[in-house]
A and B are shown apart, each in its own frame.
Chain A
């Protein structure tokens, strides 16, 4: 089972080392990890996607909490969050396929951000299933480069 954990941390030297090290040292696997600033410059927010059963999750949460630089943890279940991922990719095109790629992109509300004679750079934002579907469709044309942000999440209800 996959969980999305949102971790508010002190924006201090070495905090990523501590968290990444805790995961490897305790034998937990990270699916994706995203770090960014928050409104408060003294904190950062990490969104971590972890695979594991409830026991693993309980330990991940407790071990994270034990770190002095971790301020607050939220463990989200899927229905309680809005989650998004941003993907940039380069897709092969030629004069015959260019229109089709752009058309599919339109349906998915993707953006063309760079145009070359034989490829297009595309930006797409969405939840995991949307992105997976889009990647599957683009795969047919040939994806030559790809970069994903990993998941970022926000609770549906503010507390």
Chain B
């Protein structure tokens, strides 16, 4: 049997292509970016990209260039911009080390489906393959971590390629696209033709569920006694939050999101079970695993969500709706796979529910009373909790206080580790695109540059990076971009002097033997005294002083609220260095490869080394 699987229809409708005046490749690139609506680019120059920077200087009025202090800071900033806006983030770097410094961010964007266009300079065409100064085959290096990439060998191709790059990055399941442009191609001149349509016969991002499948979903809901929705980043990428909320309020089905999906459904809604997975709520994990119908929407059955995949939700009928066909039946084979744009599918389901006489209500849900009772009991028994202290600041307390002081109205970014999980646990997110976190790749150092990118996009919103001391220092140089460009994003460091999450695993799986997880100064260890800060290393107040960024260290709980308010009120970049104990573990925790029944809810029980991954 032969199965033609791709359509060859043109992907956008045509108008007459527009012919420009004679200009250089670099000028064509900049003109194309502007035509794509780009107003912000994070770009660090070098020999092979400076020609493009020269072109950027001429269009500074419509396209603002931000100078990061490391290409990784630039690419994370572009990701933060993209995640906060839904538009493609744009980053530029030179060849060789400039390009390889982007690699982590590109891989990050790939795993978290972030629309990103990365532009790199390349050595001149005749030097390619000669081991030229600052030459790296970035096309091959990035081939497996991009949605698509291009090496531009002809100046006449630039306009078409940029158009295709933005189209590919932002449609379907979004992702990173890289364009590598040799320096002589940037310099070469031509009269460009700016295409108005994209014609990619191998790419069809438009996927719409058929009515029969959606009617089958309605049928499953009718027969279900304890249904659950498990939804993720696809709802946010697909701009389908409103449709999801309506769907939930018509059906009364409770919702658990993934970490990527946080904010796609209001966490303060009575049908929200917050988020599931390794450090998610016990009640979300219980409910998803014991559901008789699981509607998995815009998710990919990631191992941090499912634990042991063969045991995950094994009693329920699973419906999987996703726009990426390769995610369907990849990690989990499901009963009813539906290839669709989730916004379309949910809107259509809402229409079908309307026809079936299922009105939308905002409260007083009564569709599954016994199920609600069961969930309420779990919710009661297993809330997110921590042991608070009198004077010592617990990290969870600091996050909850930040939630209260901001009234939940902020864009939060994070690094990776314990603080990231606590931020997701103790801050409530009601809107999409308000938690920007490196979920799939787990890239430490993401939080601060991502916050700068988000703040550039939304200068009037409060943007706060909740960071760890380990993650923050990985891109601490971006304090310079913040100060020089006046990007007023805030940082709250939860500083415990340790690589906390790895330390937690050492406690759990390696009998607390420390394998280089102490980040302070071992010659003069800070012992946690609230009166004597001697030994705290590094000294963030002094670091920030060097960058001319305000920074305040807080040791006592009684001082925290006022200090936090000063940070929130500041009209300039501001760092709050909050000292917290290193002894806290992130709980609950389902060990890797285990099931929801193996959850550790409290205490310090030690598992044997080698468990988990």
Interface residues, chain A, with chain B CB atoms under 8 Å away: 9-10, 13-14, 17-18, 21-22, 25, 55, 58-59, 61-63, 65-77, 80, 155, 159
Return the chain B residue nearest A6 by Cβ: B2
- Say yes or no for B326: interface residue by CB 8 A criterion: yes
Q: Which of B2, B324, B326, B330 contacts A159 (CB 8 A)?
A: B2
Minimal beta-carbon separation of B332 from chain A (angstroms): 11
Q: Which of A59, A70, A80 contacts B330 (CB 8 A)?
A: A59
Q: Are A63 and B326 in contact (CB under 8 A)?
A: yes
Q: Are B2 and A155 in contact (CB under 8 A)?
A: yes
Q: Which of A10, A14, A72 contacts B143 (CB 8 A)?
A: A14
Q: Are B326 and A59 in contact (CB under 8 A)?
A: yes
Most chain B CB neighbours (cut-off 10 Å) among A22, A72, A77: A72
Q: Would A70 and B6 be within 8 Å (CB), given that A18-B143, A22-B144, A63-B326 are in contact?
A: yes
B side interface size, CB within 8 A: 28
Q: A63 to B5: give the CA distance in the assembly, Å.
A: 12
Q: Are A71 and B202 in contact (CB under 8 A)?
A: yes
Chain B residue contacts of A73, Cβ below 8 A: 3, 5-6
Q: Which B191-216 residues have C-beta < 8 A from chain A?
A: 200-203
- Say yes or no for B153: interface residue by CB 8 A criterion: yes
Q: Are B151 and A66 in contact (CB under 8 A)?
A: no
Q: Which of A21, A55, A62, A71 contacts B326 (CB 8 A)?
A: A62
Q: A55 to B329: give the CA distance in the assembly, Å.
A: 8
Chain A residue contacts of B201, Cβ below 8 A: 10, 71
Q: List 21 A-B contacts (CB under 8 A).
A: A9-B202, A13-B153, A14-B139, A17-B139, A21-B144, A58-B329, A59-B330, A61-B3, A62-B330, A63-B326, A68-B148, A68-B168, A70-B6, A70-B202, A71-B8, A72-B5, A72-B6, A73-B3, A73-B5, A75-B1, A76-B2
Q: A76 to B8: give the CA distance in the assembly, Å.
A: 21
Contact mask B1-34 → A, CB, 8 Å, 1/0?
1111110100000000000000000000000000
Contact mask B128-166 → A, CB, 8 Å, 1/0?
000000000001100110011101010000000000000
Chain A residue contacts of B324, Cβ below 8 A: 66
- Say yes or no for B268: interface residue by CB 8 A criterion: no
- Say yes or no for B127: interface residue by CB 8 A criterion: no
Q: Are A10 and B5 in contact (CB under 8 A)?
A: no
Q: Are A68 and B140 in contact (CB under 8 A)?
A: no
Return the chain A residue nearest B172 by Cβ: A66
Q: A118 to B282: give the CA distance in the assembly, Å.
A: 77
Q: Are A65 and B6 in contact (CB under 8 A)?
A: yes
Minimal beta-carbon separation of B12 from chain A (angstroms): 15
Chain A residue contacts of B153, Cβ below 8 A: 13
- Say yes or no for B570: interface residue by CB 8 A criterion: no
Chain B residue contacts of A9, Cβ below 8 A: 202
Chain B residue contacts of A71, Cβ below 8 A: 6, 8, 201-202
Chain A residue contacts of B328, Cβ below 8 A: 62
Minimal beta-carbon separation of B209 from chain A (angstroms): 17
- Say yes or no for B606: interface residue by CB 8 A criterion: no
Task: List 20 extra interface pairs beyond A17-B140, A55-B333, A68-B168, CB under 8 A.
Answer: A10-B201, A13-B151, A14-B149, A25-B144, A55-B329, A59-B326, A59-B330, A62-B325, A65-B5, A66-B326, A68-B202, A68-B203, A69-B202, A70-B202, A71-B8, A74-B2, A75-B1, A75-B2, A75-B3, A77-B1
Q: Which of A61, A69, A155 contacts B5 (CB 8 A)?
A: A61
Q: Would A74 and B3 be within 8 Å (CB), given that A14-B139, A66-B324 are in contact?
A: yes
Chain B residue contacts of A70, Cβ below 8 A: 6, 202
Q: A51 to B317: give the CA distance in the assembly, Å.
A: 31
Q: Are A65 and B325 in contact (CB under 8 A)?
A: yes
Return the chain B residue nearest A62 by Cβ: B326
Q: Would A21 and B203 be within 8 Å (CB), given that A14-B151, A59-B330, A65-B326 are in contact?
A: no
Chain B residue contacts of A14, Cβ below 8 A: 139-140, 143, 149, 151
Q: Is the interface of B mostly helix, strand, loop or mixed?
A: loop
Q: Which of B2, B168, B326 contacts A80 (CB 8 A)?
A: B2
Chain B residue contacts of A62, Cβ below 8 A: 325-326, 328, 330
Minimal beta-carbon separation of A43 from chain B (angstroms): 9
Minimal beta-carbon separation of A60 from chain B (angstroms): 10
Chain A residue contacts of B202, Cβ below 8 A: 9-10, 67-71
Q: Would A72 and B4 be within 8 Å (CB), given that A14-B151, A17-B140, A25-B144 are in contact?
A: yes
Chain A residue contacts of B330, Cβ below 8 A: 59, 62
Q: A87 to B127: give the CA distance in the assembly, Å.
A: 38
Q: A22 to B144: give the CA distance in the assembly, Å.
A: 7
Contact mask B332-343 → A, CB, 8 Å, 1/0?
010000000000
Chain B residue contacts of A63, Cβ below 8 A: 326
Q: A61 to B149: give the CA distance in the assembly, Å.
A: 21
Return the chain A residue nearest B325 by Cβ: A62
Return the chain A residue nearest B151 by Cβ: A13
Return the chain B residue nearest A158 by Cβ: B2
Minimal beta-carbon separation of A98 from chain B (angstroms): 45
Minimal beta-carbon separation of B149 from chain A (angstroms): 8
Q: Are A66 and B325 in contact (CB under 8 A)?
A: yes
Chain B residue contacts of A75, Cβ below 8 A: 1-3
Return the chain A residue nearest B2 by Cβ: A74
Closest 10 CB pairs of A and B: A62-B326, A74-B2, A25-B144, A71-B202, A68-B148, A21-B144, A68-B203, A66-B326, A21-B143, A70-B202
Return the chain B residue nearest A81 by Cβ: B2
Chain A residue contacts of B151, Cβ below 8 A: 13-14
Return the chain B residue nearest A13 by Cβ: B151
Q: A72 to B6: give the CA distance in the assembly, Å.
A: 6
Chain A residue contacts of B3, Cβ below 8 A: 61, 73-75
Q: A68 to B171: give the CA distance in the assembly, Å.
A: 12
Minimal beta-carbon separation of A48 from chain B (angstroms): 15
Most chain B CB neighbours (cut-off 10 Å) among A18, A21, A63: A18
Return the chain A residue nearest B175 by Cβ: A66
Chain A residue contacts of B2, Cβ below 8 A: 74-76, 80, 155, 159
Most chain B CB neighbours (cut-off 10 Å) among A68, A72, A77: A68
